Amino acid sequence: MVTTSPAQIVGIVLPAYNEGKVIGQVLDELPRKLTIDGKTFEVRIIVVNDASDDSTVHEIIKRRNVTLINHILNSGAGAATRTGLHLAKDVGCNYVLTMDADGQHSASDVRKLINAIVKGNSDFIIGSRLKLQKGNMPTVKKVGNIGLGIITFVLLGVYASDTQSGLKAMNKKALNTISFHSNDYAFCSEMIWSAHKARLRIKELPIEAIYTDYSLSRGQKNITGALDIIKQLIKRRFLHLINE
């Protein structure tokens, strides 16, 4: 008797807040099925709408094969990512990729990270926008990201060239191990810290950063955003010392 093992599932988690203008195109470009080394993978796209008040939900429900979760309260990118990862775990995803919903990442980089994580040489992969010269990341953002990488190293003891990258991939082991409590953008650094503490194999892959006028107007504000992240990281470090 010939038995066929069920296709493995790759989850793609997108936290979205007021991304109505671009999220449709982002979802359209994502693969629904992948074949890697002769193995077929079912792709499960999970969008966590973080209480958007624009057309985000409308754009999502028009797309097929997309799971939509609505946050009741606007809680931040970290909280939305955590909800998406929670569902990915519940539905039994073997691999999970997180990405921004503002069109900052290319579909080819998404495939590249999925390929790399499926190959199995690492548990957690960070797509680094600073390792590739290609792309149009503004200088102020580059400097900010380098600075945040150094601050993350000083506070949390783990270094990554692009701690704030939204494009990350993880396998089941990492999905079950990584935990973070930051609700806002500090979750990116906290995820890496959690992976480091769990002694997971962390790798960085160069990816392209696509900045448009739209994506520049979204996301973190340069200086206040960076200061908020630093404040959150200090708070997290302190709470880790007294309350974990």
Partner 1 sequence: MNKYTILIVFNLPFVVFGIFSAIARYKENSLGRLSLLTRLFFWTFIGAGIIFAQQIYNFLIRNDLTNSQPLSLADVVLVTGVSFCFFLSIRLYSRLDNTERKLSDLQEKLSIMLSDDKSNE
Contacts with partner 1, residue ranges (CB under 8 A): 44, 48, 61, 63-73, 75, 79, 82-83, 86-87, 90-91, 181, 183, 239-244
Q: Minimum CB separation from partner 1 for residue 175, in Å?
A: 15
DSSP for 137-177?
Answer: --HHHHHHHHHHHHHHHHHHS---TTTT-S-EEEEHHHHHH
| Of 197 and 201, CB closest to partner 1 | 197
Q: Minimum CB separation from partner 1 for residue 53, in Å?
A: 16
| Of 87 and 216, CB closest to partner 1 | 87
| Of 107 and 239, CB closest to partner 1 | 239
Q: Minimum CB separation from partner 1 for residue 142, in Å?
A: 31
| Of 129 and 236, CB closest to partner 1 | 236
Which helix H or strand E contains 16, and what residues bound it?
A: strand 8-16
Which helix H or strand E contains 206, and what residues bound it?
A: strand 202-206
DSSP for 76-118?
Answer: -HHHHHHHHHHHHHHTT-SEEEE--SSS-S-HHHHHHHHHHHH
| Cβ count near 123 (within 10 Å) | 22
Instruction: Measure the CA angle with vertex 195, ends 189 and 198; round to 5°.
Output: 140
Q: Minimum CB separation from partner 1 for residue 239, in Å?
A: 5
Ramachandran angles phi, psi of 36, nearest 5°: -125, 125
Q: Minimum CB separation from partner 1 for residue 243, in Å?
A: 4
| Of 184 and 203, CB closest to partner 1 | 184
